[in-house]
Amino acid sequence: MRLWMKLVAAAGALAGSVAGAQQQDFGPLPYDYVFGSYALTELDSGGVELGGSIEVANRIHVFGAYQDWELGNDFDYSVFRIGGGYRWALSPRTDAVAKLAFASTEIDGPGASPDIDNDGLVLSGEIRGWIAENVELSGELFLDDSLGSDIETILEFGGQYHLNDNFSVGGRLRVDDNDTTLLLGGRFYFGGSIGSGRRTRAN
């Protein structure tokens, strides 16, 4: 119940921010980039996340990511994820994105504790939108079947500040039933994120 309340609040904040930009055209959102992030969790631990995305056809992109961090002082957590997404342009500055990915999850415990090694699918839906010419917000809901038990529901809410045509900095807040993780990092865009080429892409 607590997760769904956070989902509703985050969705309302994103919708309100995007609605406030309805009178301006900031161009299509970019899908060609690589990124790196540092993760901070509620369990006083951290780690790194590396990944990227590339648009392979109009509306279609593929993506991949690798996460490696500690859970508390005793567990090492790593996930490799690869998949594809399809976008719908809700407006010139807002996209809805459906994604499906294959994920491989490993959790290594201390001493004689059994390790966890599971594979599964991750289905997600995302809303991305410009709220200013160089600021975008996003909200994403995940259904994760890669943890070897019940399907886990995860919410992410993020933002990016575009420093120039090729770089942005920002973060994501990731919330599930067991933990809250803050990811801070940057992106490098191929072909530019706010340049003239991006503005002419077909919807």
- Res. 114: pLDDT tops 70: no
- Tens-place pLDDT, residues 16-35: 444 444 445 566 899 999 99
Round the average pLDDT of the chain to a whole number and report it: 82
More confident residue, 46 or 68: 68
Share of the chain above pLDDT 90, in %: 55
Cα-to-chain-centroid distance, residue 69: 17
Q: What pLDDT sits at residue 80?
A: 95
Is the pTM value of this prediction over 0.75? yes
Strand partners, 109: none
Is residue 182 classed exposed, middle or buried when 0-12, 13-18 and 19+ CB atoms within 10 A define those classes?
A: middle
- Where in the chain are the domains? 2-199
Q: Give the pLDDT mean for 173-202.
A: 76
Q: What pLDDT sits at residue 112?
A: 57
Q: What pLDDT sits at residue 21?
A: 43
How many Å apart are CA 90 and CA 70, to the nearest integer?
38
- Res. 172: pLDDT tops 90: yes
Minimum mean pLDDT among 81-85, 125-129, 135-139, 193-197: which range? 193-197
Domain made up of 2-199: CATH architecture? Beta Barrel (2.40)
